[in-house]
Structure formats: C-alpha cells, structure tokens
Structure 1
Amino acid sequence: TTPATTTKQSSQPCPLLLNLKINHRTDCQQTLFFSHRLPICPAMGILHSMSQTIEPVPFSRYRNIVDDWNAFQDSIKRPLPVTLWTNSLKITPEQLQHSLQQANLTPAPISWYPGAFRLPPNVKPGHQWQFMAGLYQVQEEVAMLPVCLLDPQPGERVLDLCAAPGNKTAQIAVAMRNTGTVVANDRNPGRMQATRQTLNRLGLVNVTTTTYDAANFPREAGQFDRVLADVPCSCEGTCRKGSGPITSATEAEIRTLTGTQLAILRKAVQLCRPGGRIVYATCTFAPEENELVVDTVLAEFGEAIQVVPVADVGLRMAAGVTEWNGRSLHPSLAHTRRIWPHQNDTGGFYVAVLAKTKETHQTVPPTYTPLPPHTTEEPTPWLNIVCARFGIPPQKFAPFRIIRRSRRGVYLLNRDHLPPARPNPDACGMFFMRTDGRFPKLTTAAALFCGHWATQNFIPLTPEQIYPFLTRQDIRLTPAQTTHCTGQGYVIARFANHPLGIGIYLPPANGQPALLRSLFPKAWANMITKQG
C-alpha cells in the first residue's frame, strides 16, 4: 500500500468503532453480541472475522424473578397473537366461531376464557363485518384477566377509573348484561371519545362516561361494589406490540409513575363499599409499579383492606414478589400474580385483588337518582316514531329510558342505572336518535342495538353487498330484498339477521331499480378495507 493510499484509508472510521454501542443505563446489564458480517478495517489492513456490539439485554433487572429467562427473551421478540372475545349480548360463542369460520378466519378457542378466540396473525380483525356489527371486541388475551378477576355481576355499581380505550369497560358492561351502573372514567377527552365509539358499537346502554382525574375522583360519585384500577404505567408488558427496539423503562421514568399509581389505588379503596372488591392492574414488569404500590396501600389502610388470592383461571402465572432490592414486602403479596409473556404467549401483566373489609373514612351515603344531572326523561314522540317505522313492539324498550341531555338528540339508558352526581357525565347510555334535523334519525349504534327486532323497513343484504354498504356506496336492490319496505325513508340494513346500520330506501323510479343509500358513519367506513 502506498503512503497516499494509507493516508486515505486511515481517514475512514473503523467499522468496529461504528458498531460499538455502550449503554450506561444502570437498570440493564451490558452483554456482548456478535454479528456475522466480515467488515474490513482499512486503517489496520486486517480482515475481521466478526464485529462486536455491546447492547443492553432488555429487562435484565428482572432476571432473578423470571422463571425461564431464555424463554422470556425469546417470547418478547415475537409478535403478539390476535385475540378477541364474543359480545354475548348479540351472539353466542358457537355462532361467532361458525361465522368466522365461514369467512376463512380459523378462530381457535382460548381455553381459559369462554367465548374468546385467537385468529391467524395476518388477520385484521377490526376490518371484518362481524366487528362492525358489534359481535366481538378485539383485546389482547392477558388484558382480559383483570375483569375476569373483578367478577362484575348484573345490577351492581362498578367503577373503571382509567377506562380508555374502553376494552375492559366493555367487558364489565357485557358481563353485567346491560344492567346496573358502569362508570367509565379517564382524564383524556380524545381517548374517551374512542371509548364511547366502542361502547356504542357493542350496543351497551348501562355505561356513564366521565372525564376526570382518577386520583381526585369525587366522593360525591357514591360508593361502588367493584372498582377497577388499571393504572397508567410504563407498559413494559406491551413490548411485543411494537416493531422498534425493545427497551426497559428507566428508574427515573418509573418513579414519575408510582406517585400517580398510589393516588389512584388509594382513591379506588375510598370509593369501594365495605365488602366490595378492587382489582389493581398494570401491563408492566416493574415491582416498583406493582407489588410496591400495593404494599404501600396495605400499610396505609391496615385492616380495612386485604389481599384476596388470585383465582386459578387456567392461565400460567407467577406469584407476586415479596422482596425487591432489599425491601421486604407484605407476605400476602405472594397471592398477587405476574403473567410473563413466555408463560402463555401473551403480553405481560400484573394483577392484585383486594377486598375492602370496613369503611376507611367518615362518609355520608349519597342519594342516588335514576336520572343524571341536567337530564329529563323524554320517550315521546321518539319511541313511537321508532316503533311505528320499524314495526318494533314497544315492550321491547320497557327495560330502558329515553332521556335528553342536549338539543342534539336523545339517549337510551337502562332503568336501574344510578349515575354519579359528580363529576358531571359526558354521556349516559347510548346516543339513540338525532332529533335536531328535519327528520328524526336513529343512530348507527341504535340500529345495531335494536335492528334485529325490526319487522318492517329492513333490508337483508347479500354477502356481496356488505362491503359496499360499509363503505357508504349505493346498492341496487332486487324486488325480493324490498318486500319488507313500506315506502321511501330510513331502513335498517341486516346480514344474517345482524344489523349493520341505517340507510335510505329509494323505491324504483323511471325504470331504475330500487336503491339502498348507505348512511354508515364516515369514521367507521374509513376503517374498512375490502376482504379477499
């Protein structure tokens, strides 16, 4: 090599130096990895058989509490399975499984959760007509566990303090069979709007939504039979959802969360009635956000609360830790549970079940009223309009109230609902009918809820017409499809007797066939892609 060539080569960075990455975070161990590339370092004139890269092993601080470290590391590199649960208010698990099989989706039942299924990894479950009809809800498998342990019962009063995006609220409301009172709260208005869309699609009328800081949720809301505190966390257990590098939360990040988590769990204990149940849950691995939070609250409330052993539901789980970083924790925390990703091929989760044995503070029992603040009951004329147009027997609506909260329209709410006096609700029940236009119009949510009761002015769609309807296209109708139509106006589109939404029926005219003009919501239509 000539000196000039040597000088030129020496000016290039050495690949070894380019590939050397040292992470100084104290919560991860540094481990040496080898790549199989064969880079040349021109300055040294040497062919290197391998380059060395120092990178942190994700979640190394938990190595001593993971039962199978290698299996854990392998699992977090794989994508999560696609899972969903049946909306049993609309369809049975057997019927849903058959419907999905007809769509070539090959659902596999989840053994520990009746009515839940896994789908193939390439399926987009939010794009299926069954999803749009509210027949199922998509939810990560292990995230179904907290509500299973909360065990809400029909007619109870249940609070979900950190509800968005609404999956667990929906689980609760379905388990309560659209009865009682579910209060779904979150401090993020945008996420609560998405939550209400989920509740409407699933046909849930027993939910009041509020937007409030969970840690300061007012005592005037009253007491609840069960409280879910699925608190904000560092989300380490959701690492399989992303496509980027897997990283652990720093200790500083964790410290900023634990104060909020403690405040929310304290509030959950305060709002739960004596004899009631609290479930504390996170989707993170950090003991600081899990056992240490529960340990602190156990010490603060003493005999007023106690840990209830987590029931064996059929999932592989690990016992909660009772010692961390030299700190000894309450021995009953061994009855809480950790779910590591490799144990069931899921995300990671932590759950603690608490029983409130006696009152924790002086309180004046609130006086509940069946109607939310600033609300009036207004069944007339709206219920008559719906029943007359669609041939629905009025007694079908006997368990519900039609209420007005704004000029825009009226809502449908179950009669045994006991909403909070404070905070002021964003919405109570289901937005049922727009009344501010020239012609009152059922909402899509209302059509999904009561459309199967219709005996007239409904149109049965063919399989080929589902996609055009869900993407707001006009559909030509055969005479056989219009036999239940009494004239131009609003109709309910159905497939296999499952309502899909509202449209306008236009009778044949000037030699043109009858048309169905889809009024499927634009926001929902944008979620649809044509299935092969």
Structure 2
Amino acid sequence: MRPLPTWIWAHPLRIEGQQLRALIAEEGVSAEPVPWLNPWWSSIAARVAAPGAGLTADGSAFGSDAPVAVGKGSEFGASGAALPIALRLPPGFKAGQRWWYCAGLAHAQEAVSQLPVMLLDVRPGQRVLDLCAAPGGKTAQLAFALGNRGTLLANDFAAERIAALQGNLDRLGVLNCSTTRCDGGNYPVGAGAFDRILVDAPCSSEGTLRRNPSLLQRSSQGSGQGSGERVRAHAGIGPERSQRMAGRQRALLRKAVQICRPGGRIVYSTCTFAPEENELVVAEILDEQNGNLELLPCALPGLAAGAGVTHWQGRQLDPSLSRCLRVWPHANDTGGFFVAVLQKAAQAPGLDAHHPARLQLEPEDDGWLQVLGEHYGLSTAALAGRCFHRQTRRGLHLMAADHLPPAAPSLQGSGLFAYRTNTRPPKLTTGAALLLGATASRQTLELSTEQRDRYLRRELLQPSPGQVGDCRPGQVLVRYRGFTLGVAVLHRSGDLESLFPSRWSGCSAGA
C-alpha cells in the first residue's frame, strides 16, 4: 500500500504560502500547492486580513443561504490565481517537528479532512458548532472562516481530546472559540440554535487505511459485495462494527438537526467507506424529518469524487443521496472520505434564544493588562477587537470581543489562555506570545539557527551582547527570522532560560 503524503496549510494570518514553501525548500523538501483546496483558502486569507469583509451594514452575514458551490463565484479566484496555502509534502515528512510548526505558522491536516468545512459554507457573523471537534484542524478552519471573530463552539466527549484540541487552537491563536465537553448526541438545547453545524462523526475509519495500516490486521470479515465492500473485506472491517457505530452517528446527526436554526446548514462527514455509517444514516434522518431537511448537491472543481450510494444490499435508497460526495483514496492520492450537506427548511421548528455566559474581568485585572502592554511595548492594534476575561484564578483569557458563548453547557475554555497571573512575575503564555509577538517593540531577542533548536529543546542559552541589545533582565520574547517562538527569561548573569512548553518539546527543530 502506497504511503499517504503529508498535507499542511499555512496560517493565513501569520505567513504567506509562498514564504512557507521557501522555508520548507531550505530544508531540502518540495511543498506543492493543492489546486482543489487553495481557492477556498485564498478566500479565507482575504477574509482574516480584512475581518469586516462579508458583513452587511448591520453586521449580519450576507449570502448565508446560497447553494453549495465551492470553487465558484466572486470569493474563489475571480481576482486571480489562488494563493498556495494548502501544500502537499512527501510521505513521512514530520511537520510537527519543524520550528515553523512550533511557531504556529502551519497546521498538518489531511487533504480530504479539509473538505467538510469548505462545504459547510461558513460566513462571518454566523453562529457555528463543531459537534465532534478534537483534535482541532477543522475547528481552526471554522475559526478562520469566521475571520477569527464571533461565536464558534467546539465540543468533544473525552477530557484528553479536549486538551489536544485546545493545544492546537492555542498554537494557532484562535480567539473566537469556546470548548465544551459533553455527549454530542445529548447536546443541550439551552445552547441555542446554530447557523452552521459540523458533524464529523466518529466512525470505523476505513478511509484512513493508508495512514493507519494496522486496520488491515482486524480479524472480522466483510461480505465482499461491491467496491466499498471489497475494500472493507481487505481491511478486515465487518458490517457489525459499522452497525454499532451507526447508532451513535444517528444520534449526533439527529441532535444537529434539532439545534440547527431553520434555514441553517449541517455537514455530516466520516472517514469511512461503509454505507451503513454514511448514506443509511443520512437516509434515516431525512425520513424522520418528513420534508424539513434537504440534501444539497456539492462539488469541488478539480477534485475527483464519486456520488453517494443509492442502492445497497438489495435496498433502493432515496435518489437524492447521490448528492453526497465520496472520495476514494486512489482518485486524488488522499485518504477516503464521505460528506453530506444538509439544509434545514425555513419553516421547520426552531429553538428559543439562548442565555449568554458571563465572562468578565475583576477590578484588579486592569493593572495586569497595563503591565503587559508596557513590558513588551505592544501596539494598541494588537488588542483591537479583542478583550480579556478571567475564567480561572490562574490568569486571563484573551478572546474576540464579539464572542458570545452560551451559559450551558458549561465551558471548558473560552478563547486563548494568555496571561498567567498566579506566578511572580506574571507570564505571557506561549500561545499568546505567538499571537501578539509580532507587534512587540521591546524585550525581543532574535536567535541564531543553533540557538533556535536549543531553545525549542528547553536548553540554557548564552546570547551575545549584540543579541540582547536593549533588553533588560526578565521575560523576553524570542524570535527566529522575525517569527516569534515563545517566551524566555533573561537572567542578570546573561543566561537565557527557555520557557518553551515541555508538552510541546517534541517540536524540536530540524528533525
């Protein structure tokens, strides 16, 4: 079995795709643009560069109920070629061990895994829910599709998955997202209605065979009927597992329909071939809704994809299921994937308005913010459209000023944990340093290549007097080639102590 390429995307707020390609080329690796992904990413880059774009005069989103037409219209390439933001690298390339990944300049995400958010057609001003969010690649896509503003909720069930999700959001500087932890099939209606909901459902993962060859070792047998069944039989994944998964998948999609606003949109996706987890799940929910839910046709120019299954094991399914999208691994040199785009009827029942959570500063917190701004010489633009709040006694969170999470379910986190105030002296977090460091005018220090690697390995450094410049002893922001890597302590002895997070130390550069 041919190994899967590595796929990444450049952070649209921090680096241009061509610049990232050049950094990777210096490591002797070729990074090739992905034509069927980059038109969408180009539109997102334009959106986050001008956060007000896409809003009407009253702040609401325009075009929110347009048909799915990814790759068409004025947003996608009408002004020229798409920017090379989504990139393909050789199989086995360890993006997470590169310094530019540690600096939050890129994120690794399989190519077909980027499709659901693209087909959800998210616009600024909408209220969005990612019902099965970890590990966070799609959540970050949603955040940037919203311009890193407004209200995005990211939910998952397990605490360790929430931790992984939050780590990725922090590294990428996502400010418009609150995380929740609950069973998605029982997500509380008190959270209110959402304009867009992503259900990237847990599944039997047959489409990840190229990334996870261990799936081939499973002992159960498929029936061998049809092209999908042949793959399943080869993988040793039987219909019994798919039938077990389908109950949970139906519950997730049923809940998404309930809390989607009338006229809103849902994307249901899996990384499996099994119709029991794909078309049959969608078909059952369509039947339950009795005309209040419609499958929308979806396509992506340049992507070789098949139609949804309309006949399975002697059963004739709703012909509209052909509007679903199936991606086979051999067609685009990717993993396998399934996507269905559903729209809730405008006349369908809706939910009552939700109650927002109360997020606020304590009186003494104003002093901390002043200290932070003065210490690093942060520009006023660094905090424009952003606000701080205190969620725990540990310190302050930074989030988009127009982010309005609900009071229920209880929040695991809102925005980015930015400033630890329960230590002496208080400390800017690494995530906040990556976010705000470009605007700092004081207490910054540029590292050499060797020092960069030692910093990421949390080793003690001895910078030269020229590097230290006007820095006074205390906390400093360290940079490499102008990009912030994180926080360090400059001791009076002249030693520089790395504060790069130990849980990120696998990012040691150059591996």
RMSD, aligned CA: 1.5
Which moves more between the two structures, 184-193 or 355-364? Answer: 355-364
Please tell me whether residue 505 in structure 1 is matched to residue 490 in structure 2: yes
Please tell me whether residue 523 in structure 1 is matched to residue 447 in structure 2: no
Letter matched to residue 510 of structure 2:
Q
Structure 2 counterpart of 1:87:
11
Listed one character per residue, the Cα deviations across residues 274-306 of structure 1 (whole Å, up to 9, x for unaligned) are 221110000000001100111111111122111
Structure 2 counterpart of 1:421:
407
How far is 1:315 from its partner? 0.8
How far is 1:250 from its partner? 1.7
SS in 1 for 2:477: strand
Partners of 1:521 and 1:238 in 2: CA distance:
31
Structure 1 counterpart of 2:127:
157
CA contact 2:215–2:236 (8 Å) conserved in 1: no
Structure 1 counterpart of 2:91:
121
Listed one character per residue, the Cα deviations across residues 398-457 of structure 1 (whole Å, up to 9, x for unaligned) are 311110011111100101111022100000000011111121110111101101110010
1:286 is aligned, of 274, 279, 299, to 274
How far is 1:125 from its partner? 0.7
Which moves more between the two structures, 244-253 or 166-175? Answer: 244-253
Structure 2 counterpart of 1:467:
453
Matches within 5 A, 1:66-465: 77-114=1-38, 115-244=85-214, 246=216, 247-358=235-346, 360-361=348-349, 363-367=351-355, 369=356, 372-373=357-358, 375-376=360-361, 379-465=365-451
Listed one character per residue, the Cα deviations across residues 231-285 of structure 1 (whole Å, up to 9, x for unaligned) are 0111100111124362232222111111111110011111111221110000000
Spell out structure 1 runs of 4+ moving beyond 6 A. none
CA contact 1:89–1:177 (8 Å) conserved in 2: no
CA contact 2:452–2:509 (8 Å) conserved in 1: no
Listed one character per residue, the Cα deviations across residues 475-505 of structure 1 (whole Å, up to 9, x for unaligned) are 11122211241x1100000112211000001
CA contact 1:504–1:519 (8 Å) conserved in 2: yes
Structure 2 counterpart of 1:14:
none
SS in 2 for 1:475: coil
Partners of 2:440 and 2:329 in 1: CA distance:
46
Larger radius of gyration: 1
Letter matched to residue 285 of structure 1:
F
Structure 1 counterpart of 2:479:
494
CA contact 1:377–1:402 (8 Å) conserved in 2: no
TM-score, normalised to structure 2, is 0.85
| Alignment size in residue pairs | 446
Question: In the superposition, relative to structure 1, how do residues 243 and 312 fare at CA in structure 2: closer, same or farther (>3 Å)?
Answer: closer
Letter matched to residue 498 of structure 1:
F
Letter matched to residue 169 of structure 1:
T
Partners of 2:362 and 2:338 in 1: CA distance:
43
CA contact 1:281–1:351 (8 Å) conserved in 2: yes
Partners of 1:388 and 1:530 in 2: CA distance:
31
CA contact 1:411–1:433 (8 Å) conserved in 2: yes
CA contact 1:377–1:401 (8 Å) conserved in 2: no
Q: Identity over the aligned pairs, expressed in percent?
A: 44
Partners of 1:275 and 1:493 in 2: CA distance:
48
Partners of 1:392 and 1:528 in 2: CA distance:
27
Question: In the superposition, relative to structure 1, how do residues 232 and 505 fare at CA in structure 2: closer, same or farther (>3 Å)?
Answer: same
Letter matched to residue 184 of structure 2:
A
Partners of 2:348 and 2:240 in 1: CA distance:
32
Letter matched to residue 438 of structure 2:
H
Question: In the superposition, relative to structure 1, how do residues 408 and 520 fare at CA in structure 2: closer, same or farther (>3 Å)?
Answer: same
SS in 1 for 2:291: helix
Listed one character per residue, the Cα deviations across residues 75-107 of structure 1 (whole Å, up to 9, x for unaligned) are xx2111111111102112122112222222211
SS in 2 for 1:426: strand
How far is 1:327 from its partner? 1.5
How far is 1:374 from its partner? 6.4
CA contact 2:197–2:266 (8 Å) conserved in 1: yes
Question: In the superposition, relative to structure 1, how do residues 313 and 222 fare at CA in structure 2: closer, same or farther (>3 Å)?
Answer: farther
Point out where structure 2 has 5 or more consecutive residues left out of the alignment: 39-84, 217-234
Which moves more between the two structures, 395-404 or 336-345? Answer: 395-404
Larger RCO (alpha carbons 8 Å, 6+ apart):
2
CA contact 1:147–1:172 (8 Å) conserved in 2: yes
Which moves more between the two structures, 228-237 or 153-162? Answer: 153-162
Partners of 1:238 and 1:454 in 2: CA distance:
42
Letter matched to residue 211 of structure 2:
K
Partners of 2:116 and 2:288 in 1: CA distance:
23
Which moves more between the two structures, 222-231 or 240-249? Answer: 240-249
CA contact 1:373–1:424 (8 Å) conserved in 2: no
Letter matched to residue 105 of structure 1:
V
Listed one character per residue, the Cα deviations across residues 137-184 of structure 1 (whole Å, up to 9, x for unaligned) are 101111111111112222321100000111110111122221111100
Which moves more between the two structures, 266-275 or 199-208? Answer: 266-275
SS in 2 for 1:195: helix
Letter matched to residue 477 of structure 2:
I
SS in 2 for 1:380: helix
Partners of 1:155 and 1:493 in 2: CA distance:
35
How far is 1:395 from its partner? 4.2
CA contact 1:273–1:359 (8 Å) conserved in 2: no
CA contact 1:158–1:224 (8 Å) conserved in 2: yes
CA contact 1:183–1:207 (8 Å) conserved in 2: yes
